[in-house]
Amino acid sequence: MGRKVTAGFVAGVGVTVALLSGCSSNAGGDTTCKDFLKQDTSKQTDTITKFLKDKGKNPTGLEVTANRVSAAAFCKTLGKQDSKVRDIDHG
């Protein structure tokens, strides 16, 4: 009986982890400035890459970096907490 309880517990933990990881999916262009500025550089890069790919682009590393820096600068100056990455004029 102890093994059944342990197996059930492990399965339950696995389902919980899968559900929680789905909640933290990358929102790309729908990411707000508030959330974007909380991200580390790696997550910001992922956000910008997804945003550009969703627009049909195949971005280079330089393009992603330029857009990430542009988004961060906007969010720190003119942007509001609820401004979205997709609404920023990336030039």
pLDDT of 30-71, one tens digit each? 999 999 999 999 999 999 999 999 999 999 999 999 999 999
Q: Does residue 6 fall inside a structural domain?
A: no
Percent of the chain past pLDDT 70, that is, above it, reads 71
Q: Does residue 40 fall inside a structural domain?
A: yes
Q: Does residue 14 fall inside a structural domain?
A: no
Q: Does residue 10 fall inside a structural domain?
A: no
Q: Is the pTM of this model over 0.75?
A: no
Q: Does residue 11 fall inside a structural domain?
A: no
Q: Does residue 21 fall inside a structural domain?
A: no
DSSP reduced 3-state for 19? helix
Residue 33: give the domain boundaries: 27-91
Number of domain units in the chain: 1
Q: Does residue 43 fall inside a structural domain?
A: yes
Q: Which residues contact 47 (CB under 8 A, 6 or more apart)?
A: 26, 27, 28, 31, 36, 39, 68, 85
Q: Does residue 77 fall inside a structural domain?
A: yes
